[in-house]
Amino acid sequence: MLENSQALRDPVRVKRSLFAVGICILGGLAAPTHAQSITPVTTLSPQAQVGQQLFFDTNLSASKQMSCATCHDPNNHYAQPTTNTNPVQFGGPSLTAPGFRAVPTLTYKQYTPPYSDSATNPDGVSTNSPGGGFTWDGRADTQAQQVAIPLLSSFEMANTSQAAVVAVVQNASYAALFQAAYGTDVFSNTQTAFTDVGLALQAYQQEDPSFNAFTSKYDYWSTVALSNGKPVNLTAAETRGYTVFNYTGNCFACHYNGPITGGGGALFTDFTYENPGTPRNSKIPANATKILLPTYYDLGLCTAVNPDPINAYLIPHVLPGSASLCGSFKTPTLRNTATRNVFFHNGVFTSLAQVIDFYNTRDTNPGKWYPTVNGVVQKYNDLPTAMKIYVDTTDVPFGLSPGATPFMTAQNEADLLCFLETLTDGYVAGVTPQDPNCVN
């Protein structure tokens, strides 16, 4: 996160610097250079074409009913379908095994660096800290490596081995395409073929423009040339919301949307791990099953294990030498967050308004967010007692005393919501409905 972030905020500067990087042309549509690592292709490479087939193939699960797209719905920015309001999903051979965490969007993930205990912050000024990696705890270094997790997890796609996965591909309608992409003898080595499955899914997520569209109202507004020269303006409420985002609410400190050192930007995350004291979600079966798992806590970063793509085991994550990262989770992008049903790693929040209000009143009115037992508010109730000291109490909007006046007014909260709604891809001027609450 940015330290002393209020002093560093300058939305106008950020906006101009994004505009200054110019544009490149993608099939008649202009795309921002913050997508510079995307090759502007209209057809996918053979590898990505295979990846597309794999992404939608339900045969790649033990149940034969679940594909990547089941949880990562292309119609909802690769988050869970809008009709699905579960905090966690059910997988396994008969789709009855509950997961442990909420499904993140897969949009804008390709810019994520590998996990490091001492990652350089993309803002160029914050001190190094744990950052990067895939999943909520960063335990996969690349999108290719990540693929082993859902394919082999007993509560997701639940294949019993790499060989089982490769056998499905070998018998698939796209087996010849797979060979065309990775060599005619690719099926002769199970490990190589399994690694290639990961590489193909990675290629698809990186090449298909729908994963990295940069077609939100925010993009058209901040990089005017994207909208074919017709400026898109934010409404009064959205503009005020952007100021709240940058200053009053201090969201920008972690959901960093400025230019990134080395190129690119506007991802609405700095890839760091933070501990906002997320309330426990009793709707997650693992949290409710007190008999089987009496002390189950999802501690995030400090308990992460890495998938080993070669041996398909989970191997220990290289951890920072401190328990202080227990309860820290990766700062997610806020792009396409407005269409989500559940928020945060445990899906405890079910509306964006609630998320904003949590940030604003966690400390001034904790009883609103945590249960009260015998008259005592159980603050930070999703962490063991000894670990509650690691919750972030210094970054604005946190850190106020109970009963104090929160940083944001009700109007600020409403305006901030309006701004976050401008981060949804697929905006078409004059066609995309304007939230009537976000005009004036």
List interacting residues with ligand HEC (CB under 6 A).
Answer: 1, 66, 68, 70-72, 89, 91, 99, 101, 103-104, 106, 109, 134-137, 143, 146-147, 150-151, 156-157, 201, 249-251, 253-255, 274, 276, 278, 329, 331-332, 334, 337, 340, 343-345, 352, 355-356, 359, 392, 395, 397, 416
Choice between 30 and 166, CB closer to ligand HEC = 166
* Cα–Cα–Cα angle for 76, 81, 83, rounded to 5 degrees: 125
CB of 425 to ligand HEC, least distance (A): 14
Torsion sign across C-alpha atoms 215, 236, 435, 269: positive
CB of 327 to ligand HEC, least distance (A): 8
In whole angstroms, give the CA distance from residue 253 to residue 13.
15
Choice between 66 and 226, CB closer to ligand HEC = 66
Choice between 237 and 416, CB closer to ligand HEC = 416
Q: Is 141 helix (H, G, I), strand (E, B) or coil?
A: coil
Choice between 68 and 213, CB closer to ligand HEC = 68
Choice between 106 and 286, CB closer to ligand HEC = 106
Residue with tokens 């940030």: 359
CB of 329 to ligand HEC, least distance (A): 4
Choice between 219 and 270, CB closer to ligand HEC = 270
CB of 347 to ligand HEC, least distance (A): 8
Choice between 15 and 101, CB closer to ligand HEC = 101
> CB–CB of 275/391 below 8 Å?
yes
On the CB side of 83, how many CA atoms lie within 13 Å of its CA?
Answer: 3
In whole angstroms, give the CA distance from residue 343 to residue 208.
25
Question: Which neighbouring-strand residues pair with 316?
Answer: 305
Choice between 30 and 387, CB closer to ligand HEC = 387
Give the ranges where 183-235 is alpha helix by DSSP (H): 190-207, 217-222
Choice between 21 and 46, CB closer to ligand HEC = 46
Q: Give the β-pairing of 90-91 and 97-98.
A: antiparallel
CA-wise closest residue to 53 among 144, 176, 152: 176
Give the ranges where 138-230 is alpha helix by DSSP (H): 143-146, 148-152, 162-170, 175-182, 190-207, 217-222
CB of 12 to ligand HEC, least distance (A): 19
CB of 41 to ligand HEC, least distance (A): 20
The token pair at 297 is: 């806590």
CB of 374 to ligand HEC, least distance (A): 27
Choice between 34 and 139, CB closer to ligand HEC = 139
Phi, then psi, of 332 in degrees rounded to 5 = -80, 160
In whole angstroms, give the CA distance from residue 233 to residue 246.
18
Phi, then psi, of 90 in degrees rounded to 5 = -105, 125
The token pair at 299 is: 């501690």
Choice between 33 and 298, CB closer to ligand HEC = 298
Torsion on CA atoms 3, 114, 281, 286, rounded to nearest 10: -150
CB of 196 to ligand HEC, least distance (A): 13
Amino acid identity, position 250: N
CB of 272 to ligand HEC, least distance (A): 7
In whole angstroms, give the CA distance from residue 221 to residue 418.
14
* Cα–Cα–Cα angle for 163, 167, 170, rounded to 5 degrees: 135
Choice between 33 and 55, CB closer to ligand HEC = 55
> CB–CB of 64/58 below 8 Å?
yes
CB of 141 to ligand HEC, least distance (A): 11
In whole angstroms, give the CA distance from residue 293 to residue 309.
29
In whole angstroms, give the CA distance from residue 203 to residue 34.
19
CA-wise closest residue to 329 among 350, 348, 345: 345
CB of 416 to ligand HEC, least distance (A): 6
CB of 23 to ligand HEC, least distance (A): 27
